[in-house]
Structure 1
Amino acid sequence: MGMKRIIVMLSLLAVLITMSACSSKTSYKTEEKTVTPTLNTEKSVTNSYEALDKLPQKYSHELAEKNGDVVNIKGRSSNIEKLDKFIEDYENKKASSGNMVRITKYTNEGDAIICDLIIDGEGIKLIEDTTRDKFSSKEDRKKTEYKISDISKTKKEEGISYIAKTDKGEEKFLFFTNNN
């Protein structure tokens, strides 16, 4: 690899680390697509994901990938098509109550941060589970539920960002992939 490519990759990694480590309210405005919550309540779907409490405390990226999670570890992502399909189905009113996608991202130390996006009777809810993050404070290790008002998928030259906006206006970083 050339030196320029290594510098670009390291810069991108630094951006990813900064984005995942901080909960800043940065707004991304390049080619933004917003999903407005609507719901098909005709049928209920059961998902194949294990309950968060049943997952091991050390939830490896290999197990997360095997379980079908959308995974991001050290800039490498897998199963991103599941997140795109979830958003597309929701936009096209094909999503049903119970439809879900799980996003698992990893801290610099390798601890799992798990986010479940779930269609319920009121739209989309996000459950963010930081209980496996051993390097965060005890108060920050918790499961938090948010009602989502929209999800934006922003394409930039360096990659694609997925941001969920809560009903209270807070932006929750979901995922970044450089797999254009």
Structure 2
Amino acid sequence: MNKYIPMLCLAAVLMAGCSSNTPQQIAESGENSSPFPAVIEPHNPEQAEDSGDVVVLLGEMRNRDTWKNFMKNVKRHQPDQVRVTTYTIEGGPIIHELIYDGRVIQTTYDNSRDMYGSDETEKTNTCKGIGTTKDKPWRTFYILTGCEKENIFSIPSS
């Protein structure tokens, strides 16, 4: 009997080491691995749309159902994730990755592919939810709310 105890301990250690990471654990670990598909360069709107991104180009939203499902899951406190790629007037992609763990939204902002963007590494933030704001009486935008740092996420709701 005693000779089986070390084997059982070894098996338990191996099984614990093979467990998967949740999106929040990945975001907190600072690893380069991402729960999102790799960004295909030069990341034009068609490539972004094909890879499942919510694409915002000249005020038009593509893959709107993906965004709606993410919003529903946030309201239900169900973990989910979405990548939103917005394009500037000049055509530069700005990528927002949002990972919701059931409590908070971990966001990553990357504007390094935009010619007027920053050469800095990705910016991260933690927010409590999603809301709306009006720019003018006829334009409503989705924004992140309750953020630890300044919120830079905004996409049109229509």
Q: Provide TM-score, normalisation by structure 1.
A: 0.60
Aligned partners of 1:101 and 1:117 also within 8 Å: yes
Q: CA RMSD in A?
A: 2.8
Task: Give the alignment partner of residue 83 of structure 1, picking from 52, 67, 90.
Answer: 67
Partner of residue 121, structure 2: 142
CA drift at 1:161: 0.6
Alpha-carbon separation, structure 1, partners of 2:110 and 2:117? 12
In 2, Cα distance between equivalents of 1:117 and 1:62: 20
Structure having greater relative contact order (Cα 8 Å, sep ≥ 6): 1
The answer for unaligned runs of 5 or more in structure 1 is 1-43
Question: Aligned partners of 1:57 and 1:68: how far apart in 2?
Answer: 15
Q: Which has the higher strand share?
A: 1
Contact kept, 8 Å, 1:130 with 1:142, in 2: the verdict is no
* 2:54 corresponds to: 70
SS state of the match for residue 65, structure 1? Answer: helix
**Counterparts of 1:132 and 1:166 in 2: how far apart (Å)?**
27
- How many Å apart are 1:167 and its aligned residue? 3.3
TM-score (norm 2): 0.67
Separation in structure 1 between the aligned mates of residue 87 and residue 106 of structure 2, nearest angstrom: 21
Q: CA separation in 2, counterparts of 1:79 and 1:109?
A: 21
- Residue of structure 2 equivalent to 1:11: none
1:150–1:132 Cα change, 3 Å: same
> Which aligned pairs between 1:88-99 and structure 2 lie closer than 5 A?
88-93=72-77, 95-96=78-79, 99=80
- What percentage of aligned pairs have identical amino acids? 29
Structure 1 residue identity aligned to 2:125: Y
Would you say the 8 A contact 1:102–1:114 is kept in 2? Answer: yes
Spell out, residue by residue over 1:34-90, the C-alpha distance to the aligned partner (whole angstroms, 9 max, x if none): xxxxxxxxxx58x9731xxx3134101001111121111112211123222212212
| Unaligned stretches of 5+ residues in structure 2 | 1-21, 24-33
Q: Which amino acid aligns with 1:153?
A: T
